[in-house]
Amino acid sequence: MGRSHPTGGYRYHREDMTGTTYAPAGPADAALVEAARRGDLHAWERVVRLYQEPVYRVSWLVVRDSALAEMATLSTFVRAFRALPLHEPEANLLPWLFRIAAAEARQQRRDAGRPKRSSRPVEKVQWPHIPATAVPGLTEAGGLAPAERAAIAEAFDRLGEEDRLVIAARYLFGLSRDDAASALSMAAGLIDEHLGTALRQLRARMAVA
């Protein structure tokens, strides 16, 4: 793709997607979005490069397939570019892109007619770093032991889509309660309840592993 394309002509770099919790870019976003709204495609390319990995991660959590996640990531940035006039420059970009990515990934899954789970390696995505105190039954003061962290990763993989997404919103992307609610199209007052249910489901799957 050329530099003038709304997806920015980027390539994926999934090999480095096993680091710590993603911290979204902040102060510069508003200026980039405002410039992109005025037609500056170089500014939009910078937005794409900043957010390509988290958008891919959200997509993968929905479709569980690398090829479909890549297509969903591309279509997310095309859709977001077209919708820029509807986005307030000062608003956090990540929840908005999270919501679009989840919708685009579901559409890719429907179009492909594929099952929700793929046999592709789960190591290609970054797992949420969940503190021990967040999971009922795990209260180790010093944090999770390696075996517990591995068990959580396996149990997380077996959760339903909505549970995976709410846990990822809070513990992978570090979204605030309000931003997580925006990302998931949910009332802010329901986030804690939904998250608590997802964490209990996570612990239950660990128990039967």
What single-letter DSSP state applies at residue 4?
A: T
Task: Provide the domain count of the chain.
Answer: 2
**CB within 8 A of 50, min separation 6: which ones?**
25, 29
83 and 146 housed in the same domain: no
pLDDT of residue 114: 58
Residue 117 lies inside a defined structural domain of this protein: no
97 and 59 housed in the same domain: yes
What span, in angstroms and rounded, lies between the C-alpha atoms of 209 and 154? 8
What span, in angstroms and rounded, lies between the C-alpha atoms of 47 and 132? 34
Domain stop point among 60, 88, 112 = 112
pLDDT of residue 193: 95
104 and 177 housed in the same domain: no
Residue 144, SS3 per DSSP: coil
Return per-residue pLDDT of the chain as tens, 209 residues.
Answer: 344 455 544 333 333 333 344 444 455 688 888 899 999 999 999 999 999 999 999 999 999 889 999 999 999 999 999 999 988 877 889 999 999 999 999 999 999 885 555 544 444 456 677 777 777 766 554 566 777 778 888 889 899 999 999 999 999 899 999 999 999 999 998 999 999 999 999 989 887 75
20 and 91 housed in the same domain: yes
DSSP secondary structure string for all residues of 9-38: T----GGG--SS------HHHHHHHHHHHT
Residue 58 lies inside a defined structural domain of this protein: yes
150 and 93 housed in the same domain: no
Helices (H) and strands (E) in the chain, counts: 8, 0
Residue 71 lies inside a defined structural domain of this protein: yes
Structural domain span for residue 80: 14-112
Report the CATH number at residue 82. 1.10.1740.10
89 and 131 housed in the same domain: no
45 and 76 housed in the same domain: yes
Domain stop point among 55, 78, 112 = 112
Encoded tokens for 105: 């990934």
103 and 132 housed in the same domain: no
pTM flag (> 0.85): no
